[in-house]
A and B are shown apart, each in its own frame.
Chain A
């Protein structure tokens, strides 16, 4: 299997590089270099171009921030937070219903399923369906979800929020399920043997034990959400992406670069926050 995969992979890579229309030398053709010089010209901020001194740069930056920067960043952050909180909630439910050790007639007791055939089978089916649902939810890129939802719901922040929430629910559902399946089974088995129902085990046993790990995934996805939310604005709802797209449409490459860098800084901020949160969590997990 491994060998076949290896050869298949190499074959695909060769096909992709040599039998497609990818041509890096084309990047350096005259037409493109022309384009590049026009881009570089416009990429220098307006004030610098006109007066040639650095002092006006500060005023230009402040103006940009007041017009687009703060609103864009705030909207981006807001969208990501709501989306990840929603996804976190839905993901935890999907994760629980997709965990095979929880979804069995005798939770966490692997060999005690004799005599519970039908019930066990039904639960297993549910887990399978939930897992496939998670794959389906995340198979469609957030951008496409947002594009479709925008057409259906009109312009507001909701298409972006829902798109991110749906996609990440699938991901967190899968990760949550894996977390539960990898839990240490002794304490949970003890609860099961002592007669606790599945619901009781889930709430009093699985939930506390799995929460730490799940929150690690939660914060990791938060950072990804901020990246995506920045970009979803390009579809038309207010976030940094919207202003970025507008800047490009008006050939204002200096604003374009400024806002893109701003977006990058926002992501780095989220990255640091997410890292801090995860480090704090790791100390206690």
Chain B
């Protein structure tokens, strides 16, 4: 059904507003461009860069199935494809561990950060809610790579540190989004239940929460996909994920190997995309 807002969007009044917004955004872009002192020359590969570009993109057509010659290879090195699989698995493991933990804590904190949970419990509890929101903002404002850097400096290289580095900001984001979903969900089931006399906690637990679960699940899945990417990048800092192997291959100039790692990462994302599409079809959210 076309809402008044949609039809209004087609009108003349809105068009001046649109022009203003778009001009503003464009102006911001130009300002930033000038402010940074950029020019187009940075877009062209220089000297060595040009041949690197060519070599690199040509290698895209022939990803490696085996180690490339040149460079140090320990005697007991596993077959290349096995190493790729190992890298992928390491990436997935950190992501799965982090997201599973994030989901639990995110749900808990999300409930505590939502308005609908505290609705009739008295103003004093507002302090709890606000302190949790501040905590969550702090957790998610710092990028997982920065958490990783801090944890590396404080505790050294460790798989648990990688999981923690992803866990902290992701819990913050999940909790914030969950709390918004809970607050914005359809109020009718909650209303109906409270009309027949159910207590506030029961209303929340049996009407509001279940109603929001499909959205919560869908968002968690999306975040899991993001976690896989974050986990891959953590490899650049030394953790044993795809990123580490990719960086090593790149530094050895083994571009074919690099493309194998890139393709394998793309493959994982495609599989997750397909899985999520299948689930969405079942849910019809």
Interface size on B, residues (CB 8 A): 77
Q: Is B185 an interface residue (CB 8 A)?
A: no
8 further A-B pairs in the complex, CB-CB below 8 A; given A215-B21, A268-B137: A16-B97, A23-B158, A81-B28, A184-B2, A184-B3, A208-B10, A208-B14, A208-B15
Q: Is B145 an interface residue (CB 8 A)?
A: yes
Residues 30-67 of chain B, each 1 if its beta carbon lies under 8 Å from chain A, else 0:
01110110100011111001001100100000000000
Partner of B42 from the list A156, A209, A245 (CB cut-off 8 Å) is: A156
Q: Chain B residues in contact with chain A, CB under 8 A?
A: 1-3, 5-7, 9-10, 14-15, 17-18, 21, 25-26, 28-29, 31-33, 35-36, 38, 42-46, 49, 52-53, 56, 90, 92-94, 96-97, 100, 137-138, 141-143, 145-146, 149-150, 152-156, 158-161, 163, 229-230, 232-233, 236, 243, 246-247, 250, 262, 265-266, 269-270, 273, 275, 278-279, 282
CB-CB < 8 A to B25: which residues of A? 85, 88, 218
Q: Is A141 an interface residue (CB 8 A)?
A: yes
| For the complex of A and B, 7 pairs with smallest distance between CB atoms | A85-B29, A184-B2, A156-B42, A16-B96, A139-B269, A81-B32, A158-B42
Partner of B158 from the list A32, A81, A183 (CB cut-off 8 Å) is: A32
How far apart are B226's CB and chain A's nearest CB, in angstroms? Answer: 9
Q: Taking CB as reference atom, which chain B residue is nearest A212?
A: B9
Q: How far is the CA of A227 from the CA of B161 in the complex (A)?
A: 20
Q: How far is the CA of A75 from the CA of B36 in the complex (A)?
A: 7
CB-CB < 8 A to A141: which residues of B? 229-230, 232-233
CB-CB < 8 A to B250: which residues of A? 147-148, 151
Given contacts A5-B275, A85-B25, contact A78 B35 (CB under 8 A): yes
Contact in complex: A74, B279 (CB < 8 Å): no
Given contacts A244-B146, A267-B142, contact A187 B45 (CB under 8 A): no
How far apart are B182's CB and chain A's nearest CB, in angstroms? Answer: 18
CB-CB < 8 A to B33: which residues of A? 78, 82
How far apart are B64's CB and chain A's nearest CB, in angstroms? Answer: 16
Contacts A/B (CB < 8 Å), 24 sampled: A2-B279, A5-B278, A15-B93, A23-B158, A24-B160, A77-B32, A78-B33, A81-B29, A139-B270, A140-B266, A144-B233, A151-B49, A152-B52, A152-B56, A156-B38, A158-B43, A205-B10, A227-B141, A231-B146, A256-B150, A260-B150, A267-B142, A284-B5, A284-B14
Partner of A16 from the list B26, B93, B266 (CB cut-off 8 Å) is: B93
Contact in complex: A144, B266 (CB < 8 Å): no
Contact in complex: A208, B9 (CB < 8 Å): yes
Contact in complex: B10, A184 (CB < 8 Å): no
Q: Is A265 an interface residue (CB 8 A)?
A: yes
From A156, A186, A244, A268, residue with most partner B Cβ within 10 Å: A156
CB-CB < 8 A to B96: which residues of A? 12-13, 15-16
Contact in complex: B278, A256 (CB < 8 Å): no
Contact in complex: A256, B282 (CB < 8 Å): no
How far apart are A65's CB and chain B's nearest CB, in angstroms? Answer: 18
Given contacts A17-B97, A77-B32, A263-B143, contact A153 B159 (CB under 8 A): no
CB-CB < 8 A to B38: which residues of A? 82, 156-158
How far apart are A1's CB and chain B's nearest CB, in angstroms? Answer: 6
Contact in complex: A209, B149 (CB < 8 Å): no
Partner of A1 from the list B15, B42, B265, B278 (CB cut-off 8 Å) is: B278
Interface residues of A in 222-273 (CB under 8 A from B): 227-228, 230-231, 234, 241, 244-245, 248, 253, 256-257, 260, 263-265, 267-268, 271
